[in-house]
Chains A and B, each alone.
Chain A
Amino acid sequence: MDPVTTLPVLLGIAWLVPLASFTLILLFGPRMGKHGQGAGMLATAAIGTSAVLSLIALFFVWVPAYDWAPEHHAAHAEHGAAEHHDAGHGEAGHDDAHDKDAHGADEHQAEEHKTEEHKTADEHHDWRKPYVAGEWYTLGQFGKLRIGISYYIDSLTVTMFAMITFIATMIHFYANGYMHDELHEITDHEVTLSNGHHLHRPGRFHRFFQYLSLFCFSMLGIVIAGNIAMVFVFWELVGICSYFLIGFYIERKSASNAANKAFIVNRVGDFGMIIGLMILIATLGTFSFGDIDTDGDGTAEPGIFSLVRTEANNYALVVPDGMVRAAAASEIAAGVEPSAEQIAAWRAETGPGGIGRTAYWLLIVAGLGIFCGCVGKSAQFPLHVWLPDAMEGPTPVSALVHSATMVAAGVYLVGRFYPVFTPETLLVIAVIGCITLFIAATIAIVAVDIKRVLAYSTVSQLGYMMLALGVGGWSAGMFHLITHAFFKSLLFMCSGSVIHAVHTNDMTKMGGLRHKMPFTAYTMLAGCLAIMGAGIPFMIGLSGYYSKDAILAQALSFKASNPQWGFLFYVAAAGAAITAFYMFRLWFMTFAGKPRDHHAYDHAHESPKIMYYPLIVLAVLAVVVAWPFWPVSIVALLEQARPEGFHETVNGVLVSNLTHPAEHISHEPNFHIQATWVATFVGLSGLGLAIVFYGLSLLNPAEVARQFKPVYTFLWNKWYFDELYDYIFVRPVLFVANRVAEFDKVVIDGIIDSLAMLTRMVARLDDLSDRYLVDGFVNGLAAWTYATGSKLRSAETGRIRQYVMFIVVGTVAMFVLISLYIS
């Protein structure tokens, strides 16, 4: 099948089906089956369709076209140069596109089978990243600014589609069971009304699935988006969906607060993202990722990636002309286009105060702006506070938010926008990721809410991904994103199953549950082992083993190139140990040992089949999904989408001694083997500690907590981030708001009130004049008329004879008068 025409159709439909489901449920939700039960089935069917389409796109369209069939691959090279960029690398003096293509694919296939792992940088050059870009619909063109519904499909997009839709399908199935209560009238025991009763409300089953469908649609929109403006639109849609879902139990104060918090914290990040967007549109004049022929003249207009990394520069990051021109705005006379030589000369001025340096800063700020949005969405260090609170939503939402959607969006966007990031930006990303992973991991040690432990573990793992991306491990970061999605959704759904059984989130009330719910317990064990990265070194392991190893190896390689930034590796390694510790702490506290709360234990039961079947599927996948010996391995797929220009080592410009080693270097034995041993060792040590504390109870954790009371309190209070933000942001804002409210009440209300008083006085005066002047005149006239009439009354005697006399006398008098006057 021709991927250029097939992929946009397949993925486009996969993207829109959840929207259709959302619309249908929105319109007919409550009438779908009994109590809206059909809504769940519809949403599940919709996302299931998407999953099938995405898997077809991955296995039957993408893989044959770009990996295992060089002749197909070559054949498509001539199919519309405008949209299809799998043609060969355009180095002068090279052969025609077909040969290069075939060569590229061959080489890639070789890489796929790990037979030729350590290629030289030169070999990478000959291969060009395949992608399909185009536009479905143009929303509008305003001067240079063109906004449209476009797509950018590379192997990352296809892989993400498959992952998101598949996991979302599992979660939909699971949610059909989990949200069963919502089919009937609900009495919410966590909400007490003012009259002392608990809140009683109708079930909202259909509404849950309605939002879930919209959520999937938005997330898929981000992944398929072909321009950054469209990403931003769906980015916000994901934000609003998470707001709806986190605040699903809106009557609970904590839930509505958590929803607000998630939304507001994300807005902070999006502010930076808008700055990045504005820089890009102002300097580059395009939002598009890939090269799309928008004006139909047969040649493609370069997208952001091609502008930043031009073929002529061998895909090295060079400040694009637009940014140089923007930086040199004061030097350029109006209406004069600076020559190419002039721009090149300006670009070369990289010394302090030089134009080239300003332009470079523009690029950094644009990158940091975009990253700022990702910090909000992926809950990175300064803005990580919303994610643990997002636990207020129903557990399937947590599973979705924490694995396939929302938080994945931030990491995905960093990965997608990778070509635009300068080494300095990447360093910031790495440091932020490192801080995040450490803070979150330490907090997870002491948390007792089962979902909060998982939430902090998500934050920590997201930190890992950012760290990996920041130290140059593009495929390591994306790889961890995908493996993490599988085991984190599994872990959350298991925790949901436990909560469903014991009706509490508090791990101190659980224990010994593996006897009651074996499926949940052992699938969760698989998830814990996967997140810990368990495996037999150099032989086989669970999915986390491969992705975490790749991250650590890259961090190690980064440390070798930049000894001053070595702490990134040590923190990552320590984080791995902590991860193993808190995950098994969670597992032991929940499933092992003796029941702590017999009431909860006695009521516990295994969840219905619709809930634990998805768990089994995901558990199997969490184990096997990353195995490199599958015909289609994730690493190979991701390697195919590696951004141009990151096959080689790159150096920083502003920060001296900053080197991002190429990722293939981390596969060299000296890094790879060391990283694997480190990962295994720290993982086992964390596991050992957990066994000592919680498995065998050799040490009493409460005593240790007492011993290290300050540390414990510090961690228990989540590093006082909430309090800090409360002091720094919330209280000043409230203070200012209160002052403004007082100003409003005193000054503005005063002015308005006195104006009203004045109006009233004027009205009263007016009333008086009306009453006495105008009414007096009219009444006086009436009174006079009345009096005159009364006086004339006496003339009316009613006697005809008298009247006749009057007439006669009058007539005679008239005659006399007339005769007198005339004569």
Chain B
Amino acid sequence: MNLLTDPVGITHYLIVGAILFVTGAVCMATKRNALGVLMGIELVLNGANVNFVAFGSEYLRPGVLGIGLDGQLIALFVIILAAAEAAVALAIVLNFYNNHSTVDVDRADELKG
């Protein structure tokens, strides 16, 4: 099976989703900037969203009893949650910046045991 020659199917979506997820995870693991980490989170969430949408599409997996419209709905919920999470996370970051004059997450280790 050659991905490059085959018509676009579910596999391609999964590969895009996986690339997005890995990129997001690497971004979260490597960025010291809190905003960068947030961006990484967004990537991870959207990677998952691509998978949901792909699994929910009848066109991509004809004849297979998938999750149907539920995939799209969950993707919508994830987007809403991501928005809410971003708002809260940005508020935390703003507050952190007020207190520490920086957004370096490595500096936020005051509660360490």
- Spell out A's residues near B (CB within 8 Å): 792-793, 796-801, 804-805, 808
The 8 Å CB contact of A797, one of B31, B32, B112, is B112
- A793-B113 contact given A801-B31, A804-B25, CB 8 Å threshold: yes
Instruction: Check B108 against A798 for contact (C-beta < 8 Å).
Output: yes
Instruction: Check A799 against B29 for contact (C-beta < 8 Å).
Output: no
10 pairs across A/B with beta carbons < 8 Å?
A796-B112, A798-B110, A798-B111, A799-B105, A799-B109, A800-B108, A801-B105, A804-B25, A804-B40, A808-B25
Chain A residues with CB under 8 A of B28 = 800-801, 804
Residue B30 lies at the interface, judged by CB distance under 8 Å to chain A: yes
User: Which A residue's beta carbon lies closest to that of B112?
Assistant: A798
Chain A residues with CB under 8 A of B25 = 804, 808
Would you give the shortest CB distance from A819 to chain B, in whole angstroms?
14
Query: B78-113, CB under 8 A of A: which get 1 and which 0?
Result: 000000000000000000000000000110111111
Residue B37 lies at the interface, judged by CB distance under 8 Å to chain A: yes
A796 to B28, CA, bound (A): 18
User: Which B residue's beta carbon lies closest to that of A811?
Assistant: B25
Instruction: Check A801 against B113 for contact (C-beta < 8 Å).
Output: no
- A801-B108 contact given A793-B113, A796-B113, A808-B25, CB 8 Å threshold: no
The 8 Å CB contact of A798, one of B29, B31, B109, is B109
Chain B residues with CB under 8 A of A796 = 112-113
The 8 Å CB contact of A805, one of B29, B31, B113, is B29
A801 to B36, CA, bound (A): 11
Chain B residues with CB under 8 A of A800 = 28, 37, 105-106, 108
A799 to B30, CA, bound (A): 11
A505 to B43, CA, bound (A): 123
Would you give the shortest CB distance from B39 to chain A, in whole angstroms?
13
A796 to B37, CA, bound (A): 19
User: Which B residue's beta carbon lies closest to that of A790?
Assistant: B113
Chain A residues with CB under 8 A of B31 = 801
Query: CB within 8 Å of A: which of B21-38?
Result: 25, 28-32, 37
Instruction: Check A801 against B30 for contact (C-beta < 8 Å).
Output: yes
Specify which of B30, B37, B108, B113 lies most central, judged by the most chain A CB atoms within 10 Å of its CB. B113
Chain B residues with CB under 8 A of A799 = 105-106, 109
Instruction: Check B29 against A808 for contact (C-beta < 8 Å).
Output: yes
- A801-B112 contact given A808-B25, A808-B29, CB 8 Å threshold: no
Chain A residues with CB under 8 A of B112 = 796-798
Query: B44-68, CB under 8 A of A: which get 1 and which 0?
Result: 0000000000000000000000000
Chain A residues with CB under 8 A of B109 = 797-799
Would you give the shortest CB distance from A79 to chain B, in whole angstroms?
111
Give me 14 other A-B pairs in contact (C-beta within 8 A), A792-B113, A793-B113 excluded: A796-B112, A796-B113, A797-B109, A797-B112, A799-B106, A799-B109, A800-B28, A800-B105, A800-B106, A801-B29, A801-B32, A804-B28, A804-B37, A808-B29
User: Which A residue's beta carbon lies closest to that of B25?
Assistant: A808
Specify which of A792, A796, A800, A805 lies most central, judged by the most chain B CB atoms within 10 Å of its CB. A800
A805 to B105, CA, bound (A): 14
Specify which of A796, A804, A805 lies most central, judged by the most chain B CB atoms within 10 Å of its CB. A804
A793 to B111, CA, bound (A): 11
A796 to B113, CA, bound (A): 6
User: Which A residue's beta carbon lies closest to that of B41?
Assistant: A804
User: Which B residue's beta carbon lies closest to that of A793?
Assistant: B113
Would you give the shortest CB distance from A791 to chain B, in whole angstroms?
11
Instruction: Check B113 against A804 for contact (C-beta < 8 Å).
Output: no
User: Which B residue's beta carbon lies closest to that of A801?
Assistant: B29
User: Which B residue's beta carbon lies closest to that of A805?
Assistant: B29
A796 to B32, CA, bound (A): 18
User: Which B residue's beta carbon lies closest to that of A802?
Assistant: B29
Would you give the shortest CB distance from A446 to chain B, in whole angstroms?
107
Chain A residues with CB under 8 A of B106 = 799-801
Specify which of B28, B40, B111 lies most central, judged by the most chain A CB atoms within 10 Å of its CB. B28
A796 to B109, CA, bound (A): 9
A804 to B25, CA, bound (A): 7
3 nearest A-B pairs in the assembled complex, by CB-CB distance: A798-B109, A798-B112, A796-B113
Would you give the shortest CB distance from A800 to chain B, in whole angstroms?
5
Would you give the shortest CB distance from A811 to chain B, in whole angstroms?
9
A793 to B29, CA, bound (A): 22
A145 to B113, CA, bound (A): 92
Would you give the shortest CB distance from A51 to chain B, in whole angstroms?
102
Chain B residues with CB under 8 A of A797 = 109, 112
A799 to B34, CA, bound (A): 12
User: Which B residue's beta carbon lies closest to that of A807?
Assistant: B25
A799 to B32, CA, bound (A): 10
User: Which A residue's beta carbon lies closest to that of B106?
Assistant: A799
Would you give the shortest CB distance from A816 to chain B, in whole angstroms?
15
User: Which B residue's beta carbon lies closest to that of A794?
Assistant: B113
Would you give the shortest CB distance from A732 to chain B, in whole angstroms?
87
A805 to B28, CA, bound (A): 8
Would you give the shortest CB distance from B95 to chain A, in whole angstroms?
16
Would you give the shortest CB distance from B107 to chain A, in whole angstroms?
10
Chain A residues with CB under 8 A of B29 = 801, 804-805, 808
Would you give the shortest CB distance from A504 to chain B, in whole angstroms?
99
Chain B residues with CB under 8 A of A793 = 113
Chain A residues with CB under 8 A of B111 = 798
Would you give the shortest CB distance from B93 to chain A, in whole angstroms?
12
A799 to B106, CA, bound (A): 6
A805 to B27, CA, bound (A): 11
User: Which A residue's beta carbon lies closest to that of B109?
Assistant: A798
A792 to B113, CA, bound (A): 9
Would you give the shortest CB distance from A439 to chain B, in whole angstroms?
105
Specify which of A792, A793, A797, A801 lies most central, judged by the most chain B CB atoms within 10 Å of its CB. A801
User: Which B residue's beta carbon lies closest to that of A797?
Assistant: B112
User: Which B residue's beta carbon lies closest to that of A796?
Assistant: B113
Would you give the shortest CB distance from A432 to chain B, in whole angstroms?
105
Would you give the shortest CB distance from B9 to chain A, in whole angstroms?
21
User: Which A residue's beta carbon lies closest to that of B26?
Assistant: A808
Would you give the shortest CB distance from B29 to chain A, in whole angstroms?
5
Would you give the shortest CB distance from A376 to chain B, in whole angstroms?
94
A711 to B111, CA, bound (A): 112
Would you give the shortest CB distance from B102 to chain A, in whole angstroms?
14
Would you give the shortest CB distance from A438 to chain B, in whole angstroms?
111
Would you give the shortest CB distance from A475 to chain B, in whole angstroms?
115
Chain B residues with CB under 8 A of A792 = 113
Would you give the shortest CB distance from A809 to chain B, in whole angstroms?
10
A796 to B105, CA, bound (A): 15
A808 to B40, CA, bound (A): 13
Would you give the shortest CB distance from B11 to chain A, in whole angstroms?
17
Would you give the shortest CB distance from A804 to chain B, in whole angstroms?
4
Chain A residues with CB under 8 A of B110 = 798
Would you give the shortest CB distance from B45 to chain A, in whole angstroms?
14
Would you give the shortest CB distance from B16 to chain A, in whole angstroms?
18
Would you give the shortest CB distance from B10 to chain A, in whole angstroms?
18
Specify which of B31, B40, B106, B110 lies most central, judged by the most chain A CB atoms within 10 Å of its CB. B106
Would you give the shortest CB distance from A108 to chain B, in whole angstroms?
121
Would you give the shortest CB distance from B96 to chain A, in whole angstroms?
12
A804 to B37, CA, bound (A): 10
Would you give the shortest CB distance from A786 to chain B, in whole angstroms?
13
Would you give the shortest CB distance from A660 to chain B, in whole angstroms?
117
A792 to B112, CA, bound (A): 12
A799 to B108, CA, bound (A): 8
User: Which B residue's beta carbon lies closest to that of A789?
Assistant: B113
A801 to B108, CA, bound (A): 11
User: Which A residue's beta carbon lies closest to that of B34?
Assistant: A800
A800 to B25, CA, bound (A): 12
User: Which B residue's beta carbon lies closest to that of A806?
Assistant: B29
Would you give the shortest CB distance from B42 to chain A, in whole angstroms?
14
A767 to B52, CA, bound (A): 66
Chain A residues with CB under 8 A of B105 = 799-801
